[in-house]
Amino acid sequence: MTIARIVALIGVLTLAASPARAQISDGVVKIGVLNDQSSLYADLAGQGSVVAARMAVEDYGATAKGLKVEIVFADHQNKADVGSQLARQWYDAEKVDLILDVPNSGVALAVNQITRDKGKAFIVSSAASSDLTGKACSPNTIHWTYDTWALANGTGNAVVKTGGDTWFFITADYAFGHALERDVEAVVLKNGGKVLGKVRHPLNTQDFSSFLLQAQASKAKIIGLANAGGDTTNAIKQGAEFGIVKGGQKFAGLLVFLTDVHALGLEKAQGLTFTETFYWDLNEKTRAFAKRFAERNRGIHPTMIHAGAYAGTLHYLKAVEALKSDEGAKVIAKMKELPTDDPLFGKGTIRVDGRKIHPAYLVEVKKPAESKYPWDYYKIQATIPAEQAFRPLDQGGCELVKK
């Protein structure tokens, strides 16, 4: 046997072997929904994200297409160490192929790194930090729904342009709050505004009166809430008590979800303006989804997080089917290559840095009298087109872009 024939033989064998390698690992596509199931982010993500992922698997018709998909979920309790341990266990021992959702940027950044090390796939719907497609971007991660840059760009711009040029930040003291404050501050300064002060509070704070008093004393026109979930609702509720709005100051809820508005009630939430990338009452398709979703989620209507979990799963399954493989980096690459199209976000794309691109909406919470039916909460004030809604590709500092 000559050297040339051996090389040829190896070549043939490798070619023959490659389709055999590119297949669904252990015959099952296993999706792990990792989020807060029990604390302040449990309603805006929580079981709702699990329901959304299940609906995506059903709507995709995975079984009919011969694809076996299994969904598991776990509670990371907003602790990066618990989240990391769960992610490792899922990837190493339980053959999970994709981790989905992961609210709390602190936990998401940890899972982002683990996913990359293990060569698996990660679709972020809840976590907000724009670093996930910036300096921490990864070939194994897609950031689907929104990020701190988009929120800053949408809400920050709108507020400064309507005269809110002096700001005081009340910020959740962890990765997400810091990123949101940083991105909004940049927008405020760029538009000629000023930041008069900031205070950082521990995650999951009950009483905001002390921070509100500091915000009041700053005399800033706008009190920017760089926090989320229960922290935001508590701050707004207590702000009303301390006469913040009556005193001429205004809240800018930088990240507010549909479930927060529901919890506050329209009486307290009316007039709040903020940025969302999805609202259940946008069109026929979103309404149909919301109806089916609410039936399975204790009547709670879908937040943009839930929509992202649904659409992300749908697109993931498309890529897996096209590739006939669930190998992490390859599926993510395929997802970036295929144009996205789903009933909730419409047509869109995924950039090389992992950023999913779609329009964002500047919404205002309705007055109680304007709300005609349950969960009728938002007026769409402006649509920010997809190409302007997210940070330009060259400004994130993502290493994947330079290549």
Partner 1 sequence: MTILGVPTQALFGQLLIGLINGAFYALLSLGLSVIFGLLNIINFTHGAQYMMGAFVAYFLLQWAGLGYWWALLIAPVVVGITGIALERTTLKRLYHLDHLYGLLLTFGFALIIQGLFRHEYGSSGLPYSMPRELAGGQNLGFMFLPNYRAWVIVFSLAVCLTTWYVIERTRLGSYLRAATENPALVQAFGINVPRMITLTYGFGVGLAALAGVLAAPIYQVNPLMGADLIIVVFAVVVIGGLGSIMGSIVTGFALGVVEGFTKVFYPEASNTVIFVIMALVLLVRPSGLFGRAS
Q: Which residues bind partner 1 (CB under 8 A)?
A: 38-44, 46, 173, 199-202, 204-207, 209-211, 213-214, 216-217, 229-230, 233-234, 237-238, 241-243, 247, 259-260, 262-265, 267-268, 298, 300
Decide: helix, strand or coil at residue 210: helix
User: Given the complex with partner 1, which of 79 and 237 has the nearer CB atom?
Assistant: 237
Closest distance of CB 23 from partner 1, Å? 40
User: Given the complex with partner 1, which of 68 and 367 has the nearer CB atom?
Assistant: 367
Of the candidates 284, 347, 287, 292, the one whose C-alpha atom is nearest the C-alpha of residue 48 is: 292
Q: What is the DSSP secondary structure assignment for residue 27, as one 8-state letter?
A: G
Closest distance of CB 86 from partner 1, Å? 19
Closest distance of CB 63 from partner 1, Å? 29
How far is Cα 32 from Cα 370, in angstroms, rounded to an integer? 40
Phi, psi (rounded to 5 degrees) for 352: -65, -30
Closest distance of CB 229 from partner 1, Å? 7
User: Given the complex with partner 1, which of 121 and 179 has the nearer CB atom?
Assistant: 179
Could you give the angle at the alpha carbon of 144 between the alpha carbons of 198 and 107, nearest 5°? 55
User: Given the complex with partner 1, which of 134 and 224 has the nearer CB atom?
Assistant: 224
User: Given the complex with partner 1, which of 257 and 390 has the nearer CB atom?
Assistant: 257
Closest distance of CB 131 from partner 1, Å? 20
How distant, in Å, are the alpha carbons of 43, 306, 337, 364 from that of 344? 20, 10, 20, 20
> Which region, left, alpha or beta, applies to residue 346 given φ > 0 means left and ψ of -120 to 50 means alpha?
left
- Asked if residue 209 lies in contact with residue 242, where contact means CB atoms within 8 angstroms, the answer is yes
User: Given the complex with partner 1, which of 91 and 176 has the nearer CB atom?
Assistant: 176
- Residue 42 makes CB contacts below 8 A (sequence gap 6+) with 35, 36
Query: Which residue reads 């009316």 in tokens?
Result: 270
- Asked if residue 46 lies in contact with residue 52, where contact means CB atoms within 8 angstroms, the answer is no
Closest distance of CB 242 from partner 1, Å? 6
